[in-house]
Every structure is written in C-alpha cells, then in structure tokens.
Amino acid sequence: MLPLDGILVVSCEQAVAAPFATRQLAELGARVIKIERPGEGDFARAYDTAVHGQSSHFVWLNRSKESMAVDLKADAATVHRLLERADVFVQNFAPGAAERLGLGAADLRARYPRLITCSISGYGPDGPYRDAKAYDLLIQSEAGLVSVTGSAEEPAKAGIPAADIGAGMYAFSGVLAALYDRERTGAGTHVEISLFDALVEWMGFPLQYTAGTGAPPPRTGTSHAAIAPYGTFRAGDGVEVVLGIQNEREWTAFCSGVLGRPDLAVDPRFDTGAGRVEHRPALHAEIDAVLDGLTGSQLVDRLADARIAHGRRREVAEVLDHPQLAARDRWVTVDSPGGPVRTVLPPITLPGRPPRLDPIPGVGEHTDAILAWLDEPA
C-alpha cells in the first residue's frame, strides 16, 4: 500500500499550481479525479505541442489522474455526487467562482464535515489584489523575484514557473497536514494557499537582507550577493564549472589545492567573506588567470581532490542524459494519448513502495467509468 491508498481527491483544476499539488497526491496512492471542461479541457493542454503533439506542461503535471468532463454551470450535481465520497476537494478557480457554483469552502464543509477543501488563488481571498490576474510572471514580478534574478544590467524571471510550483507544493503539504489532523479530530478543514504568499515566503533571504541593510541584494547572475567566490567560472577549454565556497576552510583549501596560490588566502582583500564580496572583480581576475591554464577535466579533478563544492553548468539537453539520473535509474515511461512519455520518478521515495505512475488522461477519458462507479452502492 501507498500512504494515500483509499483517499479520493476531486479537483477542479487548471494550469500549474493545483495540478502540481494533486499529482503529488496521486503518486502517493490517492485516486485523483480531475474535472475538466467538456471538449477543450484544462487550458494547459494547449500551451504547446512539444510532446507527441501534447503540451509539455500538461504531460508533466497530470499523470496518474482520471479525467472527467463536466459542465459545472449546468451539472454541478455530478460534482456533489463525487464530493459525497471524497476526502479532498481542490480548486483554483478565479476568486468568487467556486461560491457562485455552490462549491465554496464554507458551504462544502457544512455539507460534508469530513471533507478537506483546498483553495489556490493568486493573491488570497481578500485584500486589494484579490481579483487581479495572477499569471506566474506577474506574481514573480510583484513578489520581487524578478528584481533579484538576472544580471546586473537586466532583471529576469525564473525560467520555471516558480510561483505556481511553490503554491502547488504548499497546497500538497497543507492537504497532507489536514488529512493527519482529520485522523485526530474526525473533522475536515480548509487549506488556503496563494501564489503570492508562497513566493513571498521564498523571498525570505532578499527581504531580510533589504530590511537589514536598507538596500536590496544586487543581481549577480549565477553569483551570490553575499558570498564569493560563488557562481560560474570557465576553464581554458571552455568548460563551465560552478563553485560554491561558503567558509574560510574551503577558501583556504581552494587557494592551495586548486589555484596553487596559498598567498591569496591571506591577501588582505580576500581573507574574509565580506572582503571577497567587496573585491569580487579583483578576486575573479586572480581566479580566472589560473583557470585559463586548466582544462575542464583538470579543474574538476583538482576541485574533487581538495573537496571543494562544485558542479557543472549543464544545458537542459545535458540533464536529459545526466549520469546521476542514469545511475539511479530515475527515468521511467508513462503512457499518454499521444504515445509513451519519458519522465522522471517523483522526488518522494518510499523504499519498497514504488509510486503510482498511471497514464496521462485524455479529456473526459474516464467520465463514463466514473459515472458508472457513482451508480454503485457507496
């Protein structure tokens, strides 16, 4: 058995945040019934056609679910038939839409006392931004993530939907906590998540830094605003290696064992962390002068021998063939309406209990089977 075997999750979901949360629940054994619009379904299905004619976002987020096509305005009764048997209801409608459909948290929990409800919104259920559009880029901008990402010359958004992922993971963990709470109390509860709150929490370091110093941490590309040397460095043959030296022991070992320049460790410009940050251009010039005479392999060998934290800066295509993923057999194949999809195993590993990895559904693929199941005695 998986931990959530026997748990029924009904989700009126679309885009990224809610589907990401419910996929985690499905992989731990929950039965997830995804309610979609008849015909077009979740609009994330149409984001692109990268995977056998299907959206890369959708195949990432929706394996192991059942799709039921329901017109919620005309047939909310069908959803209520499901909720009579459900343990969890997740929705990421626009603010107020769930209440207009008779699916608001307060009404549902009065009607189904053991039901756990989870609402995912852009900015929360109240406040001046309640009804604002809340696409991931907009949330990244409002929460300040864009302001601390990128180079000194130009800000940039994160290359993945950070606000959606953050909200999805908080929804996932919130639902798990609510299920545990129900085991003790016998009653369901409501879990409220917003993309903005999730990403503001992730902005804790820049917020504390700015509040404490009066100035935001500077944008430094792959470098770090408060640590040096930290970031991407290039060997003489063009191989890029990322360093993360975070204490004086590592700095001394790096100077001696990698650079062959023990004098740099006691150079007054570089003998403290704050000094290395203050004199970052001079520091990088000293490091680059040595690395220019090394190949990538030589540099990696020296870093490994000196036990210095490092990594390769890989392109996405290289990650597809990453030796760590291959060695740990992390790639699996799941079915989809367009054909087999190669995907990675979920991060949560339960030894001896493989995760649920069922196909990615077509729109309304399971509608008839679910309706037949509802006609059976509970």
Quote the pLDDT of residue 377: 84
Query: What are the structural domains, with CATH classification, of the chain?
Result: 8-203+330-374 (3.40.50.10540), 230-312 (3.30.1540.10)
Out of 80, 190, 224, 366, pick the active-site residue. 224
The per-residue pLDDT for 228 is: 87
What is the per-residue pLDDT for 36? Answer: 96
pLDDT computed for residue 84 by the predictor = 95
Residue 115 has a pLDDT of 97
Please tell me the predicted confidence (pLDDT) of residue 24: 97
Based on the residue annotation, tell me whether 366 is a catalytic residue of this protein.
no
Round to whole Å and give the CA distance between 258 and 211.
37
Show pLDDT as tens, one digit a residue, over the chain (378 residues): 999 999 999 999 999 999 999 999 999 999 999 999 999 999 999 999 999 999 999 999 999 999 999 999 989 899 999 999 999 999 999 889 999 999 999 999 999 999 999 999 999 998 998 989 899 989 999 999 999 988 888 898 999 999 999 999 999 999 999 999 999 999 999 999 999 999 999 999 999 999 999 999 888 787 787 788 999 999 999 999 999 898 899 999 999 999 999 999 999 999 899 999 999 999 999 999 999 999 999 999 999 999 998 998 888 999 999 999 999 999 999 999 999 999 999 999 999 999 999 999 999 999 999 999 999 987
Residue 222, pLDDT score: 76
Amino acid 226: pLDDT: 76
